[in-house]
Amino acid sequence: MAAGRARVAASILDADLGNLAHAVGRAERSGADRIHLDVMDGHFVPNLTFGARTIRALRRRTRIPFDAHLMISEPGRYIDEFLDAGCDSITFHVEIDEPIEPTLRRIHAAGRMAGLALRPATPLAALEPYRALLDIVLVMTVEPGFGGQSFMRDVATDKVLAARGYIGHRLHGGEVHVDGGINRESAELVGGQAADVLVVGSALWVRGHDMGREIRLVRALADEGYQYGLNAGLPPTPRDAMITLASLPRSLASSLADELESGGIAVLLLRGDGARDGDEPEFVVLIPTAAEPMARERYGDRLAELAETAAAAQAARPPTAFAARRRTDR
Ligand code: DX5
Ligand code: ZN
């Protein structure tokens, strides 16, 4: 996993469509964080690409996540096929003429991330009715339909940072994606607008170019933009880094995990060590690093209380046979 904050999704739209299996493998080996799959129906956009069957076939070729970007008029009709194909996230356009909410809910019901995309001219306010259901906002900085177009700088400045407001309910894990004309010229600007995922298409598939270097450059430039634009010159924290918030006996750790989860903080509970001398094993409560300040502020008292309870229980526990034996051995 890359250090730093920004993630790069490789769009295979401009890859050799005769050998997509090779393209996804190459993107993965070159360090792409995700594969971005542009599905077009010749109706919502004046171009046709591939559908769920192709995605399903590619799914076996790489382990990195698949982000589907559906530029189609009827996502509701095909959504189950895209879910079955193994997409990790599915984003479709807010400009379609069919109900949007049921499709977002279907994506969530399948345990995947759901997003809405905006054409350059569509205002962010179009997302308003769906904001509680969004994990991803995809800001298009070219007209959807084709790779290799020029980056629309004004659209990025207007919308990318402001799009965060629509995923604010997702304390962690919500993502702003920027798609269209991203390359080493535009990466710094969108990074400085806190874009989480930069979709890069044509810039990756230039004959004779080292794709890995291109991906590293785009990511590094985006992080520079963030660091100097929004993070007071400090290096950005990787969005997927985790830290240990507490280490507690199993029952206390799992009740803390429940409390954090119900407060919207993602938690990983891992068995730690601490089973020495027959003690109850410790469990480590991990949370996203970016959530730490907020978690300490909101749950600081609770953490102190749990630590005391754990210490009191530890002190009250009679030594186990194993521990007692070791003590008499001394
Ligand atoms: C355009 C697609 C993009 C496209 C980006 O409709 O949504 O994902 O592949 O390609 P570039 O990076 O060339 O603009
Ligand atoms: Zn796209």
Give every residue of the chain whose pLDDT is below 70, as ranges.
1-2, 274-279, 319-330
Nearest listed ligand to the Cα of residue 145: 1
What pLDDT is stored for residue 169 in this prediction? 83
Q: What is the pLDDT of residues 268-293, one digit of tens each?
A: 999 987 655 556 778 999 999 988 99
Sign of CA dihedral 29, 31, 33, 38: negative
Residue-level pLDDT at 275:
56
Residue partners of 113: CB distance under 8 A and separation at least 6: 88, 89, 90, 107, 135, 136, 173, 175
Q: What residues contact residue 35 under an 8 Å CB cut-off, 6+ apart?
A: 9, 10, 12, 24, 27, 28, 58, 62, 64, 65, 66, 67
pLDDT score, position 322: 53
pLDDT in tens, 118-175: 999 999 999 999 999 999 999 999 999 999 999 999 999 999 999 999 998 887 779 9
Place of tokens 């502020």: 297
In degrees, rounded to 5, the angle at the alpha carbon of residue 38 between the alpha carbons of residues 37 and 44 is 150
What is the C-alpha to C-alpha distance for residues 282 and 323, in angstroms, rounded to an integer? Answer: 17
Instruction: Kindly identify the ligand whose nearest atom is closest to the C-alpha of 183.
Output: 1
Alpha-carbon span 268 to 286, nearest angstrom: 5
- 179 among known catalytic residues: yes
Query: Which atom number of ligand 1 is nearest to the Cα of residue 200?
Result: 12
Assign residue 208 a region (left: φ > 0; alpha: ψ between -120 and 50; beta: otherwise).
left
Q: Report the residue among 199, 205, 214 best suited for mutation to probe ligand 1: largest number of ligand atoms under 8 A from its CB.
A: 199
Q: Of the listed 33, 38, 196, 223, which one is catalytic? A: 38
Q: Among residues 14, 135, 179, 223, which one is catalytic?
A: 179
Q: Ligand 1 site: residues with CB under 6 angstroms?
A: 11, 13-14, 36, 38, 69, 142, 144-145, 147-149, 179-182, 199-203
Ligand 2 centroid–CA 36 distance in Å is: 7
> Which of 65, 82, 79 lies closest to 175, judged by CA?
65
Q: Is 84 in the active site?
A: no
- Which regions of the chain does DSSP assign to beta strands (E)? 7-11, 34-40, 66-71, 89-93, 113-118, 136-140, 175-179, 197-200, 242-249, 268-271, 282-288
Total H helices, total E strands in the chain: 10, 11
State the greatest distance between any 2 C-alpha atoms of the chain, in Å, as a whole number: 82
Residue 330's pLDDT is 44
User: How confident is the model at residue 170, as a pLDDT?
Assistant: 80
92 Cα–ligand 2 center, Å:
10
